[in-house]
Amino acid sequence: MIAIYPGSFDPITLGHLDIIKRGCRLFDDVIVAVLRNPNKTPLFTVQERIEQIRLSTRSLPNVEVDSFDGLTVNYARIRGAGVLLRGLRVLSDFEHELQMAHTNKTLDDRIETVFLATSNEYSFLSSSLVKEIARFGGSVDHLVPQHVALDIYRCYAKNLPASNPIVMDASPKVNYPTVDREV
């Protein structure tokens, strides 16, 4: 059984990765499909997002990363998928996702939508939240994979005034005490 996990993934978060890993245990193959949405202005290009996801999922042998535009059910049909995989964080997600699942069912009744509740530690997490934190100089190291955090810091460092720099080096800083010696 092939599952499609569609989304913008701008950027991919640890919450997305949680859903991908759990989906890999349930389905033979999971295709993480980056949606090209002309109505949004993304932080990263489609190709950059694909590369971020590939790096993040390289240890998962049954994951493929791709992109598409148009209707998700059409893409699923083309790829031979029988399931659309969706993550749910909060009640408002459920309302929107249920509406989409019903709509997709009217377009192709052979494709099922499977909802996975996000793990508790990621229930607050969204790509929008990650971008907002980074835009204002906050750390996102605990919200996204390390290589994605560095990409985010690079993007926002270009736009920040010199008075609010983001640290580009992700390695922890260690301050060793100095010892005065008499020579």
Among 1, 6, 22, 2, which Cα is nearest to 104's? 6
Whether 16 is catalytic: yes
DSSP for 13-70, please give it. Answer: -HHHHHHHHHHHHHSSEEEEEEE--TT---SS-HHHHHHHHHHHTTT-TTEEEEEE-S
Among 40, 96, 147, 154, the one annotated catalytic: 40
Place of tokens 């083309």: 78
Between vectors from CA 46 to CA 107 and to CA 125, what angle results, nearest 5°? Answer: 80
Take residue 5 and report the two structure tokens written for it.
């996990």
Residues 6+ apart with CB under 8 A from 62: 24, 27, 28, 29, 30
Among 16, 49, 86, 131, the one annotated catalytic: 16
Whether 89 is catalytic: yes
Omega before 145 within 30 of 0, i.e. cis: no
Among 49, 56, 86, 127, the one annotated catalytic: 127
Whether 173 is catalytic: no
Whether 147 is catalytic: no
Among 36, 89, 105, 135, the one annotated catalytic: 89
> What are the backbone angles phi and psi of residue 72, rounded to the nearest 5°?
-60, -40
Residues annotated as part of the active site: 16, 40, 89, 127
